[in-house]
């Protein structure tokens, strides 16, 4: 049994990679597993600071986002990731393939590495844009990396 994992994000090139896998890796079938991991967008909530001039002195007022603001940003990111996975599942369904989907918060290297080990993934497929950051996921695994370069042709 061969397990293949595709890492996607909100970019169109990620969906192109997924379609390339479905069209070109013919040994993906019911006996093999296709796993899809969606990288969640980075949170756009960052501490804010204001400066105010009083005569010749400047006062510095640091503000950090409230817990509620951070929670709302995380919910938004999760919603985006689930939408990405839903679109990927529809693409797989159009090719007659059922895929297992995953997402996680934060640095994707740790959960991807964990999934590779737990699910015994043989092949990790990614775009050339994500290649550098994902090489770390393969340490101490028997998983190969396939990088689908930009400019691929999809018929």
Domain boundaries, the chain: 1-39+63-120
Q: Write down the pLDDT at residue 29.
A: 60
What pLDDT does residue 40 have?
79
Q: How far apart are CA 20 and CA 152, in angstroms?
A: 8
Listed in order, strand segments (DSSP E) in 10-151 are 33-39, 48-54, 57-63, 99-104, 123-127, 144-148
Average pLDDT over residues 9-32: 81
Backbone angles phi, psi at 27, to 5 degrees: -85, 5
Rounded CA separation 31/116 (Å): 18
Architecture, CATH, for domain 1-39+63-120 = 3-Layer(aba) Sandwich (3.40)
pLDDT confidence of residue 102:
93
pLDDT tens sequence across 53-93: 444 444 554 556 677 777 888 888 889 899 999 999 999 99
Q: What is the mean pLDDT of the chain?
A: 79
């Amino acid at each position: 049994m061969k397990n293949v994992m595709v890492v996607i994000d909100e970019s169109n090139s990620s969906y192109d990679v997924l379609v390339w896998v479905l069209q070109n890796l013919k040994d993906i079938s019911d006996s093999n597993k296709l796993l899809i991991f969606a990288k969640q967008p980075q949170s756009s909530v960052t501490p804010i600071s204001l400066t105010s001039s009083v005569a010749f002195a400047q006062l510095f007022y640091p503000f950090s986002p409230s817990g509620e603001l951070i929670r709302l940003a995380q919910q938004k990111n999760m919603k985006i990731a689930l939408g990405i996975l839903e679109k990927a599942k529809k693409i797989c369904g159009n090719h007659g393939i059922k895929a297992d989907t995953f997402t996680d918060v934060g640095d994707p290297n740790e959960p991807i590495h964990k999934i590779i080990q737990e699910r015994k993934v043989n092949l990790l497929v990614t775009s050339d844009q994500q290649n550098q950051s994902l090489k770390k996921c393969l340490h101490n695994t028997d998983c190969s990396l396939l990088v689908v370069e930009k400019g691929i042709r999809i018929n």
